[in-house]
Amino acid sequence: MTAALIFLALLMGVVVWWLVRQTINVKPWVASAPQGIQSGVGFLPPSKLALGVLLAVITSLFALFISAYSIRMEVADWRPLPEPALLWVNTAVLFAASVGLQWAWRGAARENWPAVRRGTAVGAACALAFMIGQLIAWRQLTAAGYLVAGNPANSFFYLLTGLHVLHLLGGLVALMKTGGYVRAQAAAQARTGVELCAVYWHFLFVVWLILFGLLLST
Amino acid sequence: MVFAIALVVLVVGSVAFHILSPWYLTDLASNWGTIDTTISITFWVTGIVFVAVNLFMAYCVYKFRYQKNRRAEYQPENTKLEFWLTAVTAVGVAAMLAPGLIVWADFVTPPDDAVEVEAIGQQWHWSYRLPGDDGKFGNVDARFLTDDNPFGMDPDDPNGQDDRLVESNKVHLLKDQPVKVNLRSKDVLHNFTVTQFRVKMDLVPGLVSYLWLTPTKAGEFEVLCEELCGIGHFAMRGLVIVDEPADYDAWYSSLPTYAEVAARLPGDPVVGQGQYAICVACHGPQGAGLQLLNAPKIAGQEDWYLRRQLNYYKSGARGAHPEDIYGRQMAPMMATLATDQAVENVIAYIQTFPDAPAEATITGNAERGKDLWITCGACHGERGQGIKAMNAPRMAGMTDWYLARQLENFKADIRGKHKDDLYGWQMAQMARILKDDDAVNDVIAYINTLNGAPPGAGDQLAAVGAIHLAAEE
Amino acid sequence: MAQVAHDAVTDADLGPFEIEDPELYHPKTFIGKYIWSQDAKVIAVQYGITAIAIGLVALALSILMRLQLGWPDAFSLIQPANYLQFVTMHGMIMVIYLLTALFLGGFGNYLIPLMCGARDMVFPYVNMVSYWVYLAAVLILVASFFVPGGPTGAGWTLYPPQAVVGGTPGTGAGIILMLISLCVFIVGFTMGGLNYVVTVLQARTRGMTLMRLPLTVWGIFMATVLALLAFPALFVSCIMMILDSLIGTSFFMPAMIAEGQQTAYDGGSPILFQHLFWFFGHPEVYIVALPAFGIVSDVLSTHARKNIFGYRMMVWAIVAIGALSFVVWAHHMYVSGMNPYFGFFFATTTLIIAVPTAIKVYNWVLTLWRGNIQLTVPMLFAIGFIFTFINGGLTGLFLGNVTVDLPLSDTYFVVAHFHMVMAVSPVLVVFGAIYHWYPKITGKMLDDTLGKVHFWMTFLGTYAIYYPMHYLGFEGMPRRYYAYGTDTAFMSQSAHTLNEAISIAAIFVAIAQMVFLYNIVRSLTKGKEAGPNPWNATTLEWQTPHTPPRHGNFDELPSVYRWAYDYGVPGAEQDFIPQNVPSEELAAARAKDEGAQGEGKADG
């Protein structure tokens, strides 16, 4: 459970630090007129904060899977499976997807709509290519006799990669919706959408790097 | 006012209940008096807090009850008071925690002079193993578990050959001898609890857990499973018998070693045919049974069950109860099978009989019986085929009037109550689920529809039941 | 709205506050208003009704269990398999589908936007979807009653391997539906949870600093954070168990036999499941408890006409309990066969968590001290809660202390403890909260006499059920047993009689709930008109221009000048000052007293 605990400790640390800043030296019973426009966390719009919370939840999910992985690994029946070389290619493709969306994000910030369109297209296409690549990697492993129930190492491989792809799929749905805003030239929504998608893509890329590193190292 | 009085009454009542309660820790029979001490400490600390805080609250509710012209005191906080309350609480917590941790340190480190016993759990029985004269347990593995190797012994491990096997729910311990009980499960999670010993621990398939204790009182103590392990959980009992040295040695030397068990000779049906002569009058030449003489069908019944019952008749564990009229007729017959080998031979001969389903004589609502059978089938098999590993004999195709009588006997404590009838107590508990008069007939009507074949591959329920056999790899 | 301009800062200085058009908040059709509603208040009621409906099923199951335990030879319809299914479904429904959903989905949705001074949740559409996904989870759960083999009977902890293989009821479709239902619930909850967190952080009205939030919002907020981080653990274990069950992986399933036959499972770790389950399961206790802590604080303060004592300490206790709840999980596993050395660590953390919990209790009681206590029905429930919670909390010190847990674990002591602390206590708060906020939700008061009858029957009845039950646990009576037999040596014959008495008390309590339901339904039409603020409370939900509040909550968003606990303020006209009422004299007087220092930093 170490991975999950480390993640939680960090998160709780942030929460407590933030709370201390909010509350220290405050005498809540003292009445006063409101100052400023709103009492919320000023630096983030709600949608970005929501994405942040969602990413924390997803991180918790993967951290727990990694914890389970490292506990289950200790048992004697664990037989590591060979990672297909294709995974390296897929990693590069997912990186390209991230770059594409970063490009779109910069474009959106400058209201450069052609760049946004190209960037999101690259991001979406590469994400799709990554998913197809993962599927091919699955088929290669199945063909080589590494079935999902054959060994816990196999089970975890399919489970972790599958879950990661599912999250990417969810991201694609959001990206499609953002694509609609871009086409409709709805500047505000498009900008937010592209930004959120870019952050999500980077996040999933990092998650993939961690998962891939874990799979390679064990 | 009423509320304040109610709170005071509840506090006083709770304390009085605690003092007067006839329900409290059972008499201690092990070295774990320290556990009882930590409970007392915890009771004192929590009891004081319980009384003090609740009485204070009752006082507040009375004293500061609503008055129209009064205002509450405006007091946002009182840092000093809060600090002191926190400090006192921390001291109280430490007073409970420290002794707890000291005793726990004792619990996790068995003493060097502790002898080892292994308690093995399965749905829904106990068995035990002793390391034998070499003091070392042989290797075991779940993969070795079969009907013929119920302990899962590694046949090639020399350390295991002299292990003493206890194929029984009962185990004996030596008084005043520290013992480390290793715990192992053959199937699901179980828990080894002897209430009078205070300690307990789960059995987890795939690993060996342990607990240790020194029994300090001679006597018999029930072993309970306290981890929900399925339908039969409530009837999974064992017995620990704490002996003085002489009794213990007698018991120990009566235990077979693994090598002896593995070398048991099969019976000889040809010799058995001669010894069956006395049985034939009632049970018939082909073992088909005869209702007129109250003799059940024995053809098709499994050998291990016949062996157990015949030995029970011999030892008086069955057929000795004054109201067991027909059992009392059977008991003297067994005198003719004097040796174990004779019993084996007869059983071997019975196994050669052709097996035809007995005629149905009892009618009932088979649909309702099917629902009742869910419990029975958990041990006797979904198709009533009998499962040796569960110590549950075959039901399907056997004489139904006999089943009815036995169920009634179990319910009335005529059968299964004897202390040497290892699995009878469990069946007596189970028979009691047939609570009304029709239930027995209904379940037997359903048994009459079963064919006893093991569940086929096409059986949907079994397929979803997720017993994945040999499908992969 | 009362006069807004005051002090140095005026509305004009603050600038335009709202971007959204309140016109958006007027759905035209009945379906838009009550079925596919995006109004958090309607969603709250939907959550509430669904949760209470499924909770009634769980109540019925508990009565069936008690019938079997009280009179083991009487009811032939209750077979061992059924009994275990009742145990399992009762526990799971009560913990997840009733209490979690009701506190967060029900009270969270109703109270967060109103108490924060927001028009609605930040993402109303996602909020609506959250409810419908929850409903789907409930329906999947209910469906498991009707599949072959029935629902799972593995206990609400769903421990493998018994949850997956033979010998336990519902190892077929039952367990799969249970796991799927939980996954769906978690997805739905995550949508709602995102809303609650973001709304609390981002949509508070001006002047509503974090330290002015009512403790109800604090409790629900922290519980939501816990749930968002802890539910993934349940999700992970559910997914892995589904795979173990359906396609034969061995995450949790060891090499073992089932019904005398070898299985193909190998090497899996049942303890791993328990770690994951309790990593969720222990925070889950606080997911239910923290909202109850928050709500009861507000109810106590309102009806004692006194500020909550030690507000800052209360907030920090909530945060500390929340953070600590992630490092105590294995105290559920002292006798699970895990490495016994873990016991030292987890016993210590568990007993440490008692300190902030005790502080909360002290502060509740000190809130009553020198108050002006109105024993209204909500107040009765709130004080009943304190009494019950003290009892349940103290028995937690027995079970949390690893050595004391040894004899008591898996006995009726555990059952009594967690029902006291996690069932009766929160449920008393739920009732208190419903009596407290029903007038705002419906505009009608609940009947006082029926409410008192309900309180006394429930409070005394539950104590009669669970207090003696601890002693059955001391005697060693194991839990989750279908029957005890009459020949168990260490169980006294009187223990069976006590079991019967407990069953009678349980039926008595169940009848009391019918009184409650009758009151709820009857008061909808026959209740006294409540008016906007029947309890003279300070928090914003009582200051809405309409009762019940309309979609959008406020005509003009309120500004907040003070904390939620200005009861009995010296010199004030009334014994309460709502949060949105400025008081110039007071502000001026305070400014002299305390200097500008306190005020300057009061904003978040």
pLDDT tens, residue by residue, C536-563: 999 999 999 998 998 888 888 888 889 9
Tens of pLDDT, residue by residue over C372-391, are 999 999 999 999 999 999 99
Q: In the prediction, which pLDDT does B460 show?
A: 40
Beta-sheet strands, E only, within C487-556: none
On whether residue A36 sits in a domain, the answer given is: no
pLDDT exceeds 90 at position A30 = no
Tokens of B342: 């004779």
Write the CA distances from A30 to C538, C566, C583, integer angstroms: 15, 10, 11
Tokens of B185: 């499960």
**Mean pLDDT of the region C30-55:** 90
pLDDT exceeds 80 at position C216 = yes
Q: Are C85 and C413 in contact (CB under 8 A)?
A: no
**Mean pLDDT of the region A114-140:** 93
User: How far apart are the C-alpha atoms of C484 and C490, rounded to whole Å?
Assistant: 11
pLDDT exceeds 50 at position B34 = yes
User: How far apart are the C-alpha atoms of C217 and C82, rounded to whole Å?
Assistant: 40
Q: In the prediction, which pLDDT does A81 show?
A: 86
On whether residue A189 sits in a domain, the answer given is: yes
Tokens of A39: 């009492």
Q: In the prediction, which pLDDT does C23 show?
A: 54
Reported confidence tier of residue B348, pLDDT bands at 50, 70, 90: very high
Tens of pLDDT, residue by residue over C85-100, are 999 999 999 999 999 9
C277 CB-near residues (< 8 Å, 6+ apart): C157, C158, C159, C233, C234, C237
Inter-chain contacts counted by CB atoms under 8 A, chains B and C: 404
Question: pLDDT > 70: what percent of chain C?
Answer: 92
* Helices A46-73 and C173-202, axial angle in degrees (round to 10): 140
Query: Position A38: which residue type?
Result: Q
Partners of B411 on chain C (C-beta within 8 Å) are none
pLDDT exceeds 70 at position C5 = no
Partners of C204 on chain A (C-beta within 8 Å) are 38-40
Chain C nearest-CA residue for B40: C404
Q: In the prediction, which pLDDT does B43 show?
A: 94
| Least confident residue range of B208-212, B381-385, B458-462, C542-546 | B458-462
Name the more confident of B472 and A197: A197
DSSP H stretches of helix in B175-244: none
Least CB-CB distance to B77: which of C246, C313, C471? Answer: C313
Reported confidence tier of residue C82, pLDDT bands at 50, 70, 90: very high
Partners of A27 on chain B (C-beta within 8 Å) are 76
Q: Which pTM value belongs to this model?
A: 0.92
Q: Are C550 and C470 in contact (CB under 8 A)?
A: no
On whether residue A37 sits in a domain, the answer given is: no
User: How far apart are the C-alpha atoms of C446 and C434, rounded to whole Å?
Assistant: 9
Instruction: Determine the distance from the C-alpha atom of residue B61 to the mean position of all C-alpha atoms in its chain, rounded to a whole number.
Output: 51
On whether residue A203 sits in a domain, the answer given is: yes
CATH number at residue A206: 1.20.120.80
A49 and C566 within 8 Å at the Cβ level: the answer is no
C window 396-425, beta carbon within 8 A of B = 397-398, 401-404, 406-407, 409-411
Query: Position C193: which residue type?
Result: G
Whether B145 and chain C come into contact, CB under 8 Å, resolves to yes
DSSP codes joined into one string, B355-407: --PPPP-----HHHHHHHHHHHHHHH-TTS--BGGGTB---TTS-HHHHHHHH
Given the cut 0.90, state whether the ipTM is greater than it: yes
Whether C286 and chain A come into contact, CB under 8 Å, resolves to no
Chain B nearest-CA residue for C397: B42
Q: In the prediction, which pLDDT does B268 show?
A: 87
Q: Are C160 and C72 in contact (CB under 8 A)?
A: no
Chain A nearest-CA residue for B470: A150
pLDDT exceeds 50 at position C518 = yes
Q: Which residues pair with B179 in a beta bridge?
A: B115, B213
| Least confident residue range of A184-193, B364-373, C227-236, C497-506 | A184-193
Tens of pLDDT, residue by residue over B226-257, are 999 999 999 999 999 999 999 999 999 999 99
Whether A76 and chain C come into contact, CB under 8 Å, resolves to yes
Chain B nearest-CA residue for C570: B74
Partners of A144 on chain B (C-beta within 8 Å) are none
pLDDT exceeds 60 at position C604 = no
On whether residue A153 sits in a domain, the answer given is: yes
Name the more confident of A30 and C125: C125
**Mean pLDDT of the region C486-507:** 90
Three-state SS at B322: coil
Partners of B50 on chain C (C-beta within 8 Å) are 390-391, 394
**Mean pLDDT of the region B384-399:** 91
| Least confident residue range of A74-78, C48-52, C124-128 | A74-78
A window 87-106, beta carbon within 8 A of C = none
Question: pLDDT > 90: what percent of chain B?
Answer: 66
On whether residue A132 sits in a domain, the answer given is: yes
Three-state SS at B305: helix
Tokens of C155: 């206990």
**Mean pLDDT of the region B75-88:** 92
Reported confidence tier of residue A141, pLDDT bands at 50, 70, 90: very high
pLDDT exceeds 80 at position C599 = no
pLDDT exceeds 70 at position C30 = yes
Q: In the prediction, which pLDDT does B472 show?
A: 37
Name the more confident of C576 and C166: C576
Q: In the prediction, which pLDDT does C595 show?
A: 53
End-to-end CA distance of chain C: 24
**Mean pLDDT of the region C16-32:** 59
B7 and C567 within 8 Å at the Cβ level: the answer is no
| Least confident residue range of A5-19, B412-426, C68-82, C543-557 | A5-19
Inter-chain contacts counted by CB atoms under 8 A, chains A and C: 203
Q: Mean pLDDT for chain B?
A: 90
Q: Which residues pair with B116 in a beta bridge?
A: B180
Q: In the prediction, which pLDDT does B101 show?
A: 96
Report how many domains make up chain A.
1
> Judging by DSSP bridges, how do beta strands B170-174 and B237-243 pair with one another?
parallel
Question: pLDDT > 70: what percent of chain B?
Answer: 95
Q: In the prediction, which pLDDT does B261 show?
A: 86
Reported confidence tier of residue C24, pLDDT bands at 50, 70, 90: low
Query: Position A135: which residue type?
Result: L
| Chains in contact with A, where contact requires at least 3 CB pairs less than 8 Å apart | B, C
On whether residue A116 sits in a domain, the answer given is: yes
Instruction: Determine the distance from the C-alpha atom of residue C555 to the mean position of all C-alpha atoms in its chain, rounded to a whole number.
Output: 31
Whether A77 and chain B come into contact, CB under 8 Å, resolves to no
Whether A147 and chain B come into contact, CB under 8 Å, resolves to yes
The whole domain housing A59 covers: 2-26+43-216
pLDDT exceeds 90 at position C410 = yes
On whether residue A167 sits in a domain, the answer given is: yes
Tokens of B282: 């009632």
Q: In the prediction, which pLDDT does B215 show?
A: 96
Q: In the prediction, which pLDDT does B115 show?
A: 95
User: How far apart are the C-alpha atoms of A176 and A123, rounded to whole Å?
Assistant: 11
C window 306-365, beta carbon within 8 A of A = 307, 311-312, 315-316, 319, 323, 326-327
Tens of pLDDT, residue by residue over A145-193, are 888 888 889 999 999 999 999 999 999 999 999 888 888 877 788 888 9
Number of continuous H segments (helices) and E segments (strands) in chain C: 20, 2
Question: pLDDT > 70: what percent of chain A?
Answer: 96
Tokens of B61: 């509710």
Name the more confident of B88 and C14: B88
Per-residue H/E/C for chain A: CHHHHHHHHHHHHHHHHHHHHHHCCCCCCCCCCCCCCCCCCCCCCHHHHHHHHHHHHHHHHHHHHHHHHHHHHCCCCCCCCCCCCHHHHHHHHHHHHHHHHHHHHHHHHCCCHHHHHHHHHHHHHHHHHHHHHHHHHHHHHHHCCCCCCCCHHHHHHHHHHHHHHHHHHHHHHHHHHHHHHHHCCCHHHHHHHHHHHHHHHHHHHHHHHHHHHHHHHC
User: How far apart are the C-alpha atoms of A88 and C571, rounded to whole Å?
Assistant: 74
pLDDT exceeds 60 at position C236 = yes
CA distance A72 to chain B (A): 12
pLDDT exceeds 60 at position B47 = yes
CA distance C237 to chain B (A): 17
pLDDT exceeds 70 at position B454 = no
Q: In the prediction, which pLDDT does C27 show?
A: 65
